[in-house]
């Protein structure tokens, strides 16, 4: 049940084929896990209050996954206890014209939180080495020949490096980043797509284009594996979490978030002694009204 086996911080290589999508092999008891998740949510909410009061570090939680892996519902459940003032959620879709006219980290950097706050990235800078690579979108960029004319390998090696440096830069500026890949199986995705098709209230979540992406499954798996291996570091680790059972995924996500918050160890600021003295006087003043 330990998070460690799902954690990639550059000390071991990810072989995605060997990573479980079905968490039942962990032998966890569902009732117990639901209880633990609830307790984790409470601790996350408490630590988030402290993080805000402390204001020394900022936290980015980043979610990547194939369609229907449960990004949205994970966000909803794991972070539900948090004070909405302390967290912002950003979904990175296909870039707009304005975004495409800038460097790829431009839109990401704008969503880095103020220290003391949390940003949740639903998709992220990694789309630029995932969907872009799978669909060769880089070749159609309106950029100088020296950029678009490079062999793909070189182009993406550079992007991995830019992402590594960006994340290191954030770490050196008092941020932490938790990167999560929800690893769903192709069979489970099919099941969830069918549910989206069959249940009218879920129709809106489905688009026929999702099946075109599904056809490219193997290419995506390779792109994910390469991206994780190129960007997993101690300061910005990846968690490759089994995503076929949502209740267990939520538990693991809550553990990963807690791990980062505990490392930050935020503290309520201590009031200076002279201010504290004033408190006693204020109390007296109120009581004598």
Stretch that binds ligand ATP, among 33-41, 127-135, 245-253, 254-262 (CB under 6 A): 127-135
Size of the chain in residues? 289
Stretch that binds ligand ATP, among 44-52, 109-117, 129-137, 180-188 (CB under 6 A): 129-137
Nearer to Mg ion, 145 or 204 (CB): 204
3-state secondary structure of 30: helix
Does 62 engage in binding with ligand ATP (CB under 6 A)?
Answer: no
Does 132 engage in binding with ligand ATP (CB under 6 A)?
Answer: yes
Stretch that binds Mg ion, among 63-71, 83-91, 135-143, 164-172 (CB under 5 A): 63-71
Q: State in angstroms the smallest separation of the CB of 252 from ligand ATP.
A: 19
Angle of the 30-54 helix axis to the 71-78 helix axis, nearest 10: 70
3-state secondary structure of 151: coil
Does 220 engage in binding with ligand ATP (CB under 6 A)?
Answer: no
Stretch that binds ligand ATP, among 48-56, 74-82, 85-93, 250-258 (CB under 6 A): 85-93
Compute the distance between CA of residue 277 and CA of residue 10 in angstroms, rounded to an integer.
Answer: 50
Does 94 engage in binding with ligand ATP (CB under 6 A)?
Answer: yes
Q: State in angstroms the smallest separation of the CB of 102 from ligand ATP.
A: 11
Nearest to 246 by CA among 81, 121, 89, 72: 72
Interface residue with Mg ion among 41, 66, 67, 237 (CB under 5 A) is 67
List residues bridging with 122 in a β-sheet.
Answer: 63, 91
- For the segment 179-208, give every residue that binds ligand ATP (CB under 6 A): 205
Phi-psi label, residue 10: left if phi above 0, alpha if psi -120 to 50, beta otherwise: left
Interface residue with ligand ATP among 62, 87, 113, 123 (CB under 6 A) is 123
Compute the distance between CA of residue 140 and CA of residue 117 in angstroms, rounded to an integer.
Answer: 37
Query: Across the chain, which distance is largest between two alpha carbons, in Å?
Result: 78
């Amino acid at each position: 049940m330990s998070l460690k086996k799902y954690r990639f911080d550059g000390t071991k290589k990810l072989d995605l084929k060997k990573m479980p999508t079905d968490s039942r092999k962990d032998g966890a008891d569902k009732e117990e896990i639901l209880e633990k998740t609830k307790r984790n949510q409470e601790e996350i909410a408490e630590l988030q209050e402290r993080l805000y009061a402390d204001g020394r570090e900022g936290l980015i939680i980043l979610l990547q996954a194939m369609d229907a892996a449960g990004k949205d519902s994970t966000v909803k459940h794991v972070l539900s206890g948090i004070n909405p003032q302390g967290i912002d959620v950003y979904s990175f879709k296909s870039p707009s014209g304005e975004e495409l006219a800038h460097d790829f980290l431009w839109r990401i950097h704008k969503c880095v939180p103020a220290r003391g706050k949390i940003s949740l990235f639903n998709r992220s800078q990694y789309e630029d080495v995932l969907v872009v690579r799978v669909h060769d979108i880089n070749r159609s960029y309106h950029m100088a020949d020296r950029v678009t004319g490079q062999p793909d390998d070189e182009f993406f090696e550079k992007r991995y490096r830019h992402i590594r440096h960006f994340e290191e830069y954030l770490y050196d500026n008092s941020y932490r980043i938790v990167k999560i890949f929800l690893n769903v199986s192709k069979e489970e995705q099919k099941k969830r797509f069918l549910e989206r098709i069959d249940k009218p209230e879920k129709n809106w979540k489905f688009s026929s284009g999702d099946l075109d992406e599904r056809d490219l499954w193997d290419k995506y798996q390779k792109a994910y594996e390469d991206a994780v291996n190129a960007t997993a570091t101690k300061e910005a680790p990846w968690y490759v979490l089994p995503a076929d059972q949502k209740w267990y995924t939520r538990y693991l996500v809550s553990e990963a978030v807690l791990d980062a918050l505990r490392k930050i160890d935020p503290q309520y600021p201590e009031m200076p002694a002279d201010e504290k003295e004033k408190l006693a006087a204020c109390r007296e003043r109120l009581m004598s009204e």
